[in-house]
């Protein structure tokens, strides 16, 4: 167990002991250790790296430290900057988990139900990856989540670059109970008035957040960006249906032609849930 | 605060309104009727109370079990050489190493300690290892090579009838064809329904743990949170090949129990390893093992047909009830008896034809979880009552009132209800209790929407629903079980000690025992001894039996001590002992002439008395499901108010109003806690708690996948009325209070969701897709 005080020291520690595993909040890692699923040869604790626990500003973006806890992101000052990320952090688990679990950990665990992930996907966040000898490279968060690009040995997620859009954002999550629970589906909707865009991501229904790009473009074209920005209820409902059909598609028809098999009641309910969440999220963003 | 199951996490408001305790009547500080707190409450809240998982012995070894990854497989070979050769491993035991009986069972001896040639459920124990470190033990268990021939699992209980027998005893554990009245009776109105109840887990707050210590005489002591120590001792001794008196079960603190614990499947391997190694051996199960190892509530399939006349009075009930026992019988036969006997609920039914079966499958094992049998049928018959009310256009509460049972009515088992049965009074109490305000009436109120804070709930899509349910349970063992309990009371030096092997599971027995002795002997300082099997048996801590039989035994013993104490004085003054009274450590005569202190009367003597309590006998249900099978019955009415987001199908229970038939309130605060805990467990069964399986494999054996109610899920629970009509045959007249809210609450929540959505809601837990509805403007 080493406790480096800076990002570069942490990268060096990982380089010196390739079998070691980095640990931040430990809310996923230690559960796996306690279950006997993981026996790391060593741990590199990231909790003492103060540069990762806050954020700073850079060219209209916020550079969020990977060690930001969910509890910190849920506070009002952060919510004023990136409202949807704050909402997703507040919705993530009970206070004990939010106090320990970090943004970087949420990305690295890449659990399908990770609550911040659809927000990061909708914001098109970039990851600043720290490598040996002070090397830095940037990859889109969606590339890492999709496995298109992976972390190399002795690399760490240092920062998350998120645009500051100064416009409404909404994160909505449906769960099985009133108390904290894993999402059965979640939707993030982000307005980008400067680029006249709507960006939406659906979480928890696939291994990574899904982006309904056609639905985004279509609804953005209907919005009067210079005026009231409101939409008729029918348009909101249609957006919800569009997003749901894109993210929970019908089954493919069989090769020999004929009708596609119908979706099971549980999948149909998931589609209805996504439609309702997307409609409500866009409605709240535009209201 | 009592240590209850993990379900009791809610912070709930209560307004207990027991009859006879008006606002100006101060409750007593001690004795019966006092809100005496449990003696161990402080240690438990501060975390200093030692549970079995905290025990330690010099030189102890750690145990680990190897469990089957398959629900159904033939074992071709078991090779333990690699495991036994690992450094630090002290013993590996399999079915070949059992000195005594190779199988056990609480009612039917059908369950192998270790699977020998066949595994019948996911997680069945195959071998156990003792090693000097818990990790070594776990690694060694994983190093045991078992060659399986995987067999097709029988997971559909309906197919168990025709499937190859899973056990030499066959797949049908019990069939009860109840026939009562005229089979040709037909009602003017008929409603039918098919209901499915899921698999609730007792999910105890502490997972199973135990310590086995070998004795110099070749016996063994088991330190564990057993709720039925004498039965567990007898089962274990038979497997160890020892006389029962050479095995001692010492009961440690029970971290909450809503079913039988600890499962002998944990205790017996532990004892075997201690006997084998000659060292103390400890086992602390992980949550996953706990889910795999212990018994769950019976998943049940129910088919109903209710006949009624045009006014909604029941004419006939026909039902088929199928309980899934999993691979082994355990207490399933008793669960089926309760399901069949209470299949019509607390309603008067002139004709009833109920077929009940409990069958073996390769699903996880089922057994005693409080309210078993009665809870599943309650959800179904109350669904039928709602259907009938809708068909007739009658208010659901009114329809129920036209049919309720009362004292003197006859159950479909032909047993006459002789105990108080104030069912109509209970229902009227919850019906007339004011409904909670709608949030829009008071914008200052923070409206907690379905889905919770930061959730997706939208006020425009939320519909409110109100539903009613009536439930009943039996108290004590049924069908001829000998429900005896023995207790000893000792008085010395101004303090009393109660020795009784009734386990404090959170039900409050040890507090009640103190109150009984305070009441009878007027001595404030009462200690309750820790339980072990060297004491005379008191039976299992189920079905409210300890309040009844063990409480009764304590009272009798205390009265015998009282007589011993007062007899010489009474003799001296030429009056009967009844004319003397003890209070606050003083003995006074009725006329105030005589006054002395207890200490003086004791004169340094030590007084002991032992007594037994045995309720009146019962008889098994006969071939037509008829017989006086139950000692007593308890009733409850619940009104649920729910908010449903009809687009997402998410449900939040806003309020539960409970009225309960309790006989007599012995400890108001503990009673309220027990009712709240029961209601909360019922809400879990109604909404989230279902241990899901896929082809016999438990899919998420953890508390993330198995969602218990949290404080945000627990609603306001209002105890609207506690009807104190004493049951003359019960000691103190008190009835069991814990199980009946568990039985009734799920049905009430389902009824409320039905009212909010207009959907049939015939499945528990209620799935979101069953609670979505079309918008009606």
Q: How far apart are CA B560 and CA B564, in angstroms?
A: 6
* Domain termination residue (choose one: A125, A144, A163): A163
Domain end marker among A128, A163, A198: A163
* B454 neighbourhood in chain A, CB within 8 Å: 87, 90-91, 173
Q: What is the residue range of A268's domain?
A: 169-286
Looking at the fold, whether A132 and A195 belong to one and the same domain comes out as no
Q: Tell which residue, B498, B572, B500, B507, has the closest CA to residue B541.
A: B507
DSSP string, A191-225: EEGGGTEEEEEEESSSSS-B--HHHHHHHHHHS-T
Own/partner pairs, A128-136, CB within 8 angstroms, 24+ separation: A128/A63, A128/A157, A128/A158, A128/A159, A128/A160, A128/A161, A129/A155, A129/A156, A129/A157, A129/A158, A130/A7, A130/A8, A130/A10, A130/A11, A130/A155, A130/A156, A130/A157, A130/A158, A131/A11, A131/A155, A132/A11, A132/A12, A132/A15, A134/A8
Binary contact (A178, B461; C-beta < 8 A):
no
Nearest CA in chain A to B690: A176
- Answer yes or no: is pLDDT of B357 > 80: yes
Residues B212 and B270: their CA atoms lie apart, in Å, by 6
Calpha distance A68→A24 (Å, rounded): 10
Mean of the pLDDT values across residues B567-593? 81
Chain A touched by B288 (CB under 8 Å):
yes
CB contact under 8 A, B648 and A265: no
State the pLDDT at residue B580.
Answer: 84
For residue B200, being part of any structural domain is answered with: no
Q: Chain A residues within 8 A (CB-CB) of chain B?
A: 35-36, 87, 90-91, 94, 172-182, 184, 265-266, 268-269, 272-273, 276-277, 280
Counting Cα atoms < 13 Å in the Cβ hemisphere of B589 gives 15
Q: Where are the alpha helices (DSSP H) in B688-769?
A: 739-757
pLDDT value for B215 = 94
- Domain for residue A65, yes or no? yes
Kindly compute the dihedral angle of the four CA atoms of residues A276, B693, B748, B648, in this order, to the nearest 10 degrees. Answer: 0
For residues A204 and A145, the answer to whether their CB atoms sit within 8 Å is: no
CATH number of the structural domain spanning residue A176: 3.30.390.50
**Cβ <8 Å between B455 and A87:** no
Q: Min CA distance, A274 vs chain B (Å)?
A: 9
% of chain A with per-residue pLDDT over 90? 80
Report residue B159 as tokens: 């197919």
Question: A170-179: per-residue pLDDT in tens?
Answer: 999 998 888 8
The predicted model gives B439-462 an average pLDDT of 75
Give a yes or no: residue A37 inside a domain: no
DSSP symbols for A245-282: HHHSPPPPPPTT-SPPPPPPHHHHHHHHHHHHHHHHHH
The token duo for B472 is: 């009943």
Q: Is A30 within the bounds of a domain?
A: no
- Residue A228's pLDDT is 84
A40 lies in some domain: no
Given an 8 Å threshold on Cβ–Cβ distance, is B456 in contact with A182?
no
Q: Give a yes or no: residue B293 inside a domain.
A: no
Q: Are residues B633 and B607 part of one domain?
A: no
- State how far the Cα of B772 lies from the Cα of A127, in Å rounded to an integer: 40
Asked whether residue B6 carries a pLDDT value surpassing 50, the answer given is no
Quick one: pLDDT at residue A120? 97
Q: Is residue A192 part of a domain?
A: yes
Q: Measured between CB atoms, which of B709, B712, B772 is closest to A269? A: B772
B363 and B383 fall within a common domain: yes
ipTM computed for the complex: 0.91
Mean pLDDT of B76-105: 95
Q: Do A172 and B704 touch (CB under 8 A)?
A: no
DSSP element (H, E) containing A32: helix A29-34
Quick check: is B101 in a domain?
A: yes
Omega of the bond prior to B123 within 30 degrees of 0, cis?
no
Are A179 and B769 within 8 A, CB to CB?
no
pLDDT digits (tens, 9 = 90+) for B755-767: 999 999 999 999 9
Phi, psi for residue B105 in degrees, rounded to 5: 175, 145
Q: Which helix (H) or strand (E) holds B251?
A: strand B247-251
Nearest CA in chain A to B703: A181
Contact B451, B457 (CB under 8 A): yes
In this prediction, residue B445 has a pLDDT band, given cuts at 50, 70 and 90, of low
B450/B87: higher pLDDT: B87
Residue B158 domain-assigned (yes or no): no
Tokens of B451: 């889905």
Q: Nearest by CB to B707, which of A35, A177, A277?
A: A177
Do A202 and A133 share a structural domain?
no
Q: Is the pLDDT assigned to residue B444 strictly greater than 80?
A: no
B392-396, B443-447, B735-739: the lowest-pLDDT one: B443-447
* Mean pLDDT of all residues in B123-146: 95
CB atoms under 10 Å from CB of B329, counted, come to 24
Are residue A240 and residue A209 in the same domain, yes or no? yes
Is residue B2 pLDDT above 50, yes or no? Answer: no
Q: Are residues A65 and A157 in the same domain?
A: yes
Q: Would an 8 Å CB–CB cutoff place B25 in contact with chain A?
A: no
Burial grade of B537 (CB within 10 A; 0-12, 13-18, 19 or more): middle
Q: Of B613, B639, B658, which one is at a domain's C-terminal end?
A: B613
Quote the percentage of chain B above a pLDDT of 90: 69
- Inter-chain touch B688–A90, beta carbons under 8 Å: no
Q: How many domains does chain A have?
A: 2
Residue B701 has pLDDT above 50, yes or no: yes
In a domain, B515, yes or no: yes
Range of B269's domain? 53-151+212-275
**What's the pLDDT score for residue B17?**
44
Average pLDDT, chain B: 90
How many Cβ contacts (< 8 angstroms) between chains A and B?
A: 84
Last residue of a domain, one of B613, B628, B647: B613
Which of A39, A90, A177 has the highest number of chain B CBs within 10 A, making it the mutation to test binding with B?
A177
What pLDDT, in 10s, does the model give residues B274-295? 999 999 999 999 888 999 989 9
Query: What local confidence, expressed as pLDDT, does residue B776 receive?
Result: 53
Residue A3 maps to a domain = no
Assess whether pLDDT exceeds 90 at residue B594.
Answer: no
Query: Is the residue at B416 inside a domain?
Result: yes
Look at residue B73 and give its three-state secondary structure.
strand
pLDDT at B45: 87
Q: Are residues B358 and B430 in the same domain?
A: yes
Residues A76 and A184 in one domain: no
A177/B709 CB distance under 8 A = yes
Q: What average pLDDT does the structure give for chain A?
A: 93
pLDDT of residue B8: 38
Please check whether residues A96 and A112 belong to one and the same domain.
yes
* Chain B residue with the nearest C-alpha to that of A276: B647
Distance between B138 CA and the closest CA of chain A, angstroms: 9
B430 in a structural domain: yes
B446-466 mean pLDDT: 84
Give start and end residues of each alpha helix (H) in B472-629. 509-521, 545, 551-573, 598-602
Alpha-carbon dihedral sign for residues B435, B439, B445, B451: positive
- Do both B237 and B334 map to the same domain? no
Which residues fall within 8 angstroms of residue B624, CB to CB, at 6 or more apart?
A: B177, B178, B179, B180
pLDDT > 70? residue B702: yes
Q: Say whether residue B181 is in contact with chain A using an 8 A CB cutoff.
A: no
A220 or B590: whose pLDDT is higher? A220
Q: What is the pLDDT of residues B384-423, one digit of tens each?
A: 999 999 999 999 999 999 999 999 999 999 999 999 999 9
Of B61-70, B76-85, B140-149, B532-541, which range is least confident?
B532-541
Examine the pLDDT at B568 and tell me if it is beyond 60: yes
pLDDT at A230: 85
Confidence of residue B69 (pLDDT cuts 50, 70, 90): very high
Residue A237 clears pLDDT 90, i.e. is over it: yes
Tell me how crowded residue B16 is: count the other CB atoms within 10 A of its CB: 18
Q: Is residue A14 situated within a structural domain?
A: no
Q: Is residue A60 part of a domain?
A: yes
Query: Measuring CA to CA, which residue among B482, B735, B506, B480 is closest to residue B613?
Result: B482
Q: What is the pLDDT of residues B496-525, one digit of tens each?
A: 999 999 998 888 899 999 999 988 888 888
The predicted model gives B472-483 an average pLDDT of 88
Q: Do A174 and B456 touch (CB under 8 A)?
A: yes
Report how far residue B312's alpha carbon sits from residue B398's, in angstroms, rounded to the nearest whole number.
9
Given a cut of 80, whether residue A77 has pLDDT beyond it is: yes
How many C-alpha atoms does B18 have within 13 Å on its Cβ side?
Answer: 21
- Between the alpha carbon of residue B528 and those of residues A189, B83, B497, B706, the distances in Å are 61, 45, 6, 36
Lateral strand order in the sheet of A55-58: A55-58, A61-65, A156-163, A126-130, A136-140
Q: Do B710 and A177 touch (CB under 8 A)?
A: yes
Same domain (yes/no): B117, B239 = yes
| CA-based nearest residue to B719, from B653, B624, B614, B636 | B636
Which of A121, A137, A163 terminates a domain? The answer is: A163
A276 with A179, same domain: the answer is yes
Q: Do B541 and B460 belong to one domain?
A: no
CA distance B685 to B713: 12
Pairing of strands B763-764, B189-197: parallel
Question: What mean pLDDT is predicted for residues A87-92?
Answer: 94
CATH of the domain at B584: 3.30.365.10
Largest separation between any pair of C-alpha atoms in chain A: 63
pLDDT, residue B25, reads 60
Question: What CATH number did the domain enclosing A91 receive?
Answer: 3.30.465.10
Identify whether residues A178 and A281 lie together within a single domain: yes
Residue B458's pLDDT is 85
Q: What pLDDT, on a 0 to 100 scale, did the predictor assign at position B256? A: 78
Which of residues B231, B259, B275 is at a domain's end? B275
Q: Taking the mean position of all CA atoms in its chain, how far away is CA A62?
A: 16
The rounded distance, in Å, linking the Cα atoms of B365 and B293 is: 8
The verdict on B569 and B601 lying in the same domain is yes
Asked whether residue B122 falls in the same domain as residue B69, the answer is: yes
Looking at the structure of chain B, the number of domains it has is 3
- In this prediction, residues B326-334 reach a mean pLDDT of 92
Q: What is the pLDDT of residue B171?
A: 95
pLDDT above 70 as % of chain A? 100
């Amino acid at each position: 167990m080493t406790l480096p005080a800076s990002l570069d020291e942490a990268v060096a520690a990982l380089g010196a002991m390739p079998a070691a595993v980095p640990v931040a909040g430990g809310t996923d890692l230690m559960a796996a250790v306690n279950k006997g699923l993981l026996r790391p040869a060593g741990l590199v604790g990231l909790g003492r790296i103060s540069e990762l626990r806050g954020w700073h500003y850079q060219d209209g973006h916020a550079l969020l430290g990977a060690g930001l806890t969910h509890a910190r992101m849920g506070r009002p000052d952060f919510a004023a900057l990136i409202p949807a990320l704050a909402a997703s952090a507040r919705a993530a688990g009970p206070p004990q988990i939010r106090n320990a679990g970090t943004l970087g950990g949420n990305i690295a665990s890449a659990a399908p139900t990770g609550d911040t992930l659809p927000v990061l996907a909708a914001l098109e966040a970039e990851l600043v990856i720290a490598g040996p000898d002070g090397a830095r490279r940037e990859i889109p968060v969606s590339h890492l989540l999709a496995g298109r690009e992976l972390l190399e040995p002795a690399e760490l997620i240092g920062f998350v670059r998120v645009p500051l859009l100064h416009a409404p954002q909404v994160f909505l999550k449906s769960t099985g109970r009133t108390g904290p629970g894993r999402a059965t589906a979640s939707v993030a909707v982000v307005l980008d008035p400067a680029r006249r865009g709507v960006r939406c991501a659906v979480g928890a229904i696939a291994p990574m957040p899904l982006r309904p790009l056609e639905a985004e473009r279509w609804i953005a074209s209907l919005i009067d960006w210079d005026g009231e920005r409101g939409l008729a209820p029918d348009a909101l409902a249609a957006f919800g249906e569009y997003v749901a059909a894109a993210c929970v598609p019908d089954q493919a028809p069989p090769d020999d032609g004929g009708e596609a098999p119908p979706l099971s009641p549980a999948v149909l309910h998931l589609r209805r849930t996504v439609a309702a969440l997307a409609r409500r999220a866009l409605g709240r963003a535009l209201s | 605060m009592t240590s209850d199951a993990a379900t009791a996490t809610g912070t709930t408001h209560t307004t207990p309104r027991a009859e006879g305790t008006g606002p100006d009547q101060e409750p007593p500080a001690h004795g019966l009727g006092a809100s005496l707190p449990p003696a161990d409450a402080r240690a438990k809240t501060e975390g200093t109370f030692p549970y079995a998982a905290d025990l330690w012995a010099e030189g102890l070894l750690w145990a680990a079990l190897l469990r089957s990854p398959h629900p159904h497989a033939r074992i071709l070979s078991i090779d333990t050489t690699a495991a036994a050769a690992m450094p630090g491993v002290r013993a590996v035991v399999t079915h070949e190493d059992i000195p005594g009986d190779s199988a056990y069972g609480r009612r039917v001896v059908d369950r192998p300690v270790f699977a020998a040639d066949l595994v019948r459920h996911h997680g069945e124990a195959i071998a156990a290892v003792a090693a000097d470190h818990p990790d070594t033990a776990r690694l060694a268990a994983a190093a045991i090579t078992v060659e399986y021939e995987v067999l097709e699992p029988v997971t559909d209980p309906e197919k168990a009838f025709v499937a190859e027998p899973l056990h030499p005893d066959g797949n049908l554990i019990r069939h009860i064809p109840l026939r009562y009245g005229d089979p040709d009776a037909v009602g003017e109105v008929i409603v039918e329904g098919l209901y499915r109840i899921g698999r609730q887990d007792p999910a105890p707050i502490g997972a199973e743990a135990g310590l086995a210590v070998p004795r110099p005489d070749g016996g063994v002591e088991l330190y564990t949170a057993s709720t039925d120590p004498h039965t567990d001792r007898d089962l274990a001794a038979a497997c160890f090949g020892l006389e029962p008196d050479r095995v001692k079960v010492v009961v440690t603190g029970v971290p909450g129990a809503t079913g039988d614990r600890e499962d002998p499947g944990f205790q017996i391997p532990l004892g075997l390893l201690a006997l084998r190694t000659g060292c103390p051996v400890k086992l602390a199960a992980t949550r996953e093992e706990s889910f795999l190892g212990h018994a769950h509530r019976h998943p049940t399939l129910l088919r109903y047909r209710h006949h009624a006349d045009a006014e909604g009075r029941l004419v006939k009930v026909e039902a088929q009830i199928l309980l899934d026992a999993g691979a082994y019988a355990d207490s399933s036969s008793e669960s089926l008896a309760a399901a069949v006997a209470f299949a019509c609920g607390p309603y008067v039914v002139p004709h009833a034809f109920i077929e009940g079966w409990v069958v073996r499958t390769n699903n996880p094992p089922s057994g005693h979880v409080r309210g078993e049998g009665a809870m599943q049928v309650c959800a179904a018959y109350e669904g039928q009552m709602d259907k009938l009310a809708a068909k007739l256009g009658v208010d659901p509460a009114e329809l129920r009132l036209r049919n309720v049972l009362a004292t003197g009515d006859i159950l479909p088992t032909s047993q006459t209800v002789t105990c108080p049965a104030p069912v109509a009074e209970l229902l009227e109490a919850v019906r007339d209790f004011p409904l909670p305000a709608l949030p829009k009436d008071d914008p200052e109120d923070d409206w907690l929407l379905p889905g919770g804070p930061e959730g997706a709930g939208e006020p425009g899509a939320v519909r409110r629903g109100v539903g009613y349910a009536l439930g009943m349970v039996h108290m004590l063992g049924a069908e001829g079980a000998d429900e005896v309990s023995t207790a000893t009371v000792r008085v010395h030096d101004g303090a009393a000690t109660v020795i009784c092997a009734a386990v404090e599971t959170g039900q409050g027995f040890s507090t009640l025992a103190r109150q009984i002795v305070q009441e009878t002997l007027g001595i404030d300082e009462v200690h309750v001894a820790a339980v072990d099997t060297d004491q005379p048996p008191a039976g299992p801590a189920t079905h409210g039996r300890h309040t009844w039989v063990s409480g009764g035994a304590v009272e009798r013993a205390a009265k015998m001590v009282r007589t011993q104490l007062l007899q010489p004085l009474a003799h001296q003054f030429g009056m009967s002992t009844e004319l003397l009274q003890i209070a606050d450590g003083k003995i006074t005569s009725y006329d105030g002439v005589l006054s002395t202190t207890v200490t003086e009367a004791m004169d340094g003597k030590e007084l002991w008395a032992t007594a037994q309590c045995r309720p009146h006998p019962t008889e098994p249900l006969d071939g037509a499901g008829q017989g006086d099978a139950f000692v007593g019955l308890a009733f409850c009415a619940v009104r649920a108010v729910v908010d449903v987001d009809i687009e997402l199908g998410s449900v939040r229970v806003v309020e539960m109003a409970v009225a309960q038939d309790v006989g007599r309130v012995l400890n108001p605060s503990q009673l309220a806690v027990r009712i709240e805990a029961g209601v909360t467990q019922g809400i879990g069964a109604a909404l989230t708690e279902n241990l899901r399986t896929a082809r016999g494999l438990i899919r998420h054996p953890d508390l993330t996948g198995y969602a218990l109610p949290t404080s945000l899920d627990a609603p306001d629970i209002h105890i609207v009325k506690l009807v104190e009509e004493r049951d003359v045959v019960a000691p103190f007249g008190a009835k069991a209070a814990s199980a009946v809210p568990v039985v009734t609450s799920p049905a009430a929540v389902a009824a409320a969701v039905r009212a909010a959505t207009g959907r049939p809601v015939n499945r528990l837990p209620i799935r979101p897709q069953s609670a979505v509805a079309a918008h009606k403007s």
